[in-house]
Chain A
Amino acid sequence: MDKLKKFVNKYTPVIMLLPALIGVLIIQIYPSLDSIRLSFTDKSLLNPITSYVGFDNYIKALSDPQTWQTILNTLVFAVLSLALGAVFAMLVANELNKKFRGRTFFRAMFLAPWVTPPLVTSAIWQLLLSETFSPINGLLMQLGWIDKPINFLGNTEPILGFLSMPLISIIIINVWSIFPFLMVMFLAGMQTIPAEMIEAATVDGANSVQRFFKITLPCLMPVIETSILLEGIWQFNNFNISYLVTKGGPLNSTMVMAVDVYTEAFINFNYGSGATISVLMMLIILFPAVVYLKKQLRQTDNI
Chain B
Amino acid sequence: MNKRSRRILNGIRHWAVMIFTTIFVLFPFYWMVLTSLKPREELMASPPVWIPSFLDFNNYKLVWEQMPLLRYLGNSLFVSLMTTIVCLVLATFCGYSISRFVIRKPQKITTVMMILSQLIPGTLPFISFYFIMYNAGLTNTYQGLVIAYSVWAIPFCTLMMKSYFSQSVPIALEESATLDGCSKFGIFFRIAIPISVPGLVATSIFAFIQGWNEFMWASVMLSNNDMKPASVGIYDFIGQYGANSNISMSMTAAVMITLPAIIFFAFLQKYLISGLSAGAVKG
Nearest CB in chain B to that of A110: its residue: B25
Docked CA distance A115–B215 (Å): 13
> Does A257 interact with chain B (Cβ within 8 Å)?
yes
CB distance from B35 to the nearest CB of A (A): 7
Which residues of chain B in 200-214 are interfacial with respect to chain A, using CB atoms and an 8 Å cutoff? 201-202, 205-206, 209, 212-213
Docked CA distance A173–B132 (Å): 35
Q: Are A191 and B198 in contact (CB under 8 A)?
A: yes
List, in ascending order, chain A residues with CB within 8 A of B122's CB: 237, 239
Query: Within the complex, which residue of B21, B46, B196 is in contact with A110, where a contact is CB–CB below 8 Å?
Result: B21
- Provide the main secondary structure of the chain A interface: helix
Give the residue among B110, B112, B230 with the most A Cβ atoms within 10 A. Answer: B110
Nearest CB in chain A to that of B268: its residue: A108
CB distance from A160 to the nearest CB of B (A): 24
Docked CA distance A181–B21 (Å): 14
List, in ascending order, chain A residues with CB within 8 A of B160's CB: 185, 223, 226-227
Q: Are A115 and B265 in contact (CB under 8 A)?
A: yes
Interface residues of B (CB under 8 A from A): 6, 10, 13-14, 17-18, 21-22, 24-29, 31-32, 35, 44, 46-48, 50, 90-91, 93-94, 96-98, 100-104, 106-108, 110-129, 132, 147-148, 150-152, 154-156, 158-160, 162-164, 166-168, 171, 183-185, 188, 195-196, 198-199, 201-202, 205-206, 209, 212-213, 215, 230-231, 234-235, 238, 242-243, 247, 250-251, 254, 257-258, 261-262, 265-266, 269-270, 272-273, 275-276, 279-280, 283
Jot down 30 A-B pairs with beta carbons below 8 A, ordered by A.
A16-B93, A17-B93, A21-B94, A28-B151, A29-B116, A31-B125, A31-B132, A100-B14, A108-B266, A109-B22, A109-B26, A115-B261, A117-B213, A120-B32, A124-B251, A185-B160, A191-B280, A192-B168, A192-B283, A193-B168, A208-B10, A223-B163, A223-B167, A229-B115, A234-B118, A258-B121, A271-B127, A282-B119, A301-B102, A301-B103
